[in-house]
Amino acid sequence: MAHNWDDLRLFLAVAREQSLSGAGKIVRLDPATLGRRMARLEQELEAVLFVKSPQGYALTDAGAQLLERALAAEQAMRLATAGVALPSDRLTGQIRIGAPDGVANFLLPQVCAGIVAEHPGLDIQIVALPRVFNLSRREADMAIAVSAPDTGRLMVQKVTEYHLHLAAAERYLARHPAIGRVSDLRDHRIVGYIPDMIFDRELDYLADLGVSRVGLASNSVSVQAHIIQQGGGVGVVHDFALPFLPGVRRILTDDLRLQRAFYLIRHADDRGNQRLRQFSELLTVALRREVGVLEAKA
């Protein structure tokens, strides 16, 4: 597939910003013109590159494949203008990612499997810990977090927003009093975090519900999800986890809909590392796509 660099440059901007307005500011085109350019590119390729929704532009599988080629072209252009011999566009070596266990359990396995399928010389290590990673001590090459740090020499990029709802197993709901409003939760066993082990304020989901007692608790979000699946009680579940939890459904969706975001964090000293930059872009796009796909199934 041969494309001119200008088309790929515009495509990269939309893929990174996930919106025509955001990308337009970068490439200095109005959103309508940029939208026509993307439509023309899709027509030329005979492929749908983006899923358009009120939330923005999310890459399809075809779009993700083009992204890899576009990133390689971008790197080639950068190196060519610097007079440097071009390396292979295949990533190699080892990269370690630190992540909260919810991301590590429900998103990173399939996302990283897809990346190494395209880059067989790459070794990815996923470190799943329910705490904030310290990149200054080089615990990982990059980390995913649920809030953006405001201290340290770090590069922070918002990856994607995601949603959470109250949920319970069908078998639990069948054996316990009906839940028609938030106040009914006082008659039910609550599943959630161990209060004094909540490592980020964004994870304190139950505070606004007035819940004072957590009958079944864990510092692991995946353990909480499986407790709920086993009929242990009612708790907050990531929408992207629900497809992995058959028999669990959302409840009180009109009363409680939480929105949070994931951030990709890298050390500022790695700003010039093209290998980590290329990987972080692949990871970001794949995570955005996977969250969108799984939330649509929830």
Q: What is the pLDDT of residues 100-129, one digit of tens each?
A: 889 999 999 999 999 999 899 999 999 887
- Cα distances from 3 to residues 69, 82, 188, in angstroms, run 10, 22, 58
Percent of the chain with pLDDT over 90: 39
Report the top-level CATH class of 93-160+261-297: alpha beta
- Cα distances from 204 to residues 146, 201, 212, in angstroms, run 11, 6, 12
CB-facing half-sphere around the CA of 49: CA atoms within 13 A: 25
| Residues 216-239: tens digit of each pLDDT | 999 899 999 999 999 999 999 999
Cβ neighbours of residue 63 under 8 Å, at least 6 residues apart?
Answer: 15, 48, 49, 50
* Cβ atoms 38, 10 nearer than 8 A: yes
For residue 80, the SS3 value is: helix
* Cβ atoms 15, 42 nearer than 8 A: no
Q: Do domains 5-81 and 93-160+261-297 have the same CATH topology?
A: no
- Closest among 243, 15, 264 to 140, alpha carbons compared: 264
* Cβ atoms 212, 146 nearer than 8 A: no
| Residues 193-208: tens digit of each pLDDT | 887 877 667 777 777 6
Q: Give me the architecture of the 5-81 domain, per CATH.
A: Orthogonal Bundle (1.10)
The topology under which CATH files domain 162-259 is: D-Maltodextrin-Binding Protein; domain 2 (3.40.190)
pLDDT band, residue 250 (cuts 50/70/90): very high
- Closest among 239, 297, 291, 298 to 58, alpha carbons compared: 291
* Cβ atoms 58, 292 nearer than 8 A: yes
What does the domain layout of the chain look like in residue ranges?
5-81, 93-160+261-297, 162-259
Question: Has residue 150 got a pLDDT over 90?
Answer: no
* Cβ atoms 191, 208 nearer than 8 A: no
**Other beta carbons within 10 Å of 82:** 7
pLDDT value for 193: 87
The mean pLDDT value for 242-266 works out to: 92
pTM here is: 0.70
pLDDT value for 146: 85
Cα gap 111→126, rounded to integer Å: 11
pLDDT band, residue 155 (cuts 50/70/90): confident
Percent of the chain with pLDDT over 70: 89
Could you give the dihedral angle defined by the CA atoms of residues 172, 174, 177 and 178, in that order, rounded to the nearest 10 degrees? 110
* Cβ atoms 57, 19 nearer than 8 A: yes
Helix, strand counts (H, E) of the chain = 9, 11
Q: Strand runs (DSSP E) across the chain, as ranges?
A: 50-53, 56-59, 93-99, 122-128, 142-145, 154-169, 190-192, 216-217, 234-238, 248-251, 258-267
| Residues 20-72: tens digit of each pLDDT | 888 888 788 888 999 999 999 999 888 999 988 877 888 888 888 888 888 87
Strand partners, 250: 167
Q: How does DSSP classify residue 272?
A: T
- The chain-wide mean pLDDT, for the chain, equals 85
The mean pLDDT value for 186-199 works out to: 84
pLDDT value for 106: 95
Question: Has residue 266 got a pLDDT over 50?
Answer: yes
pLDDT band, residue 2 (cuts 50/70/90): very low
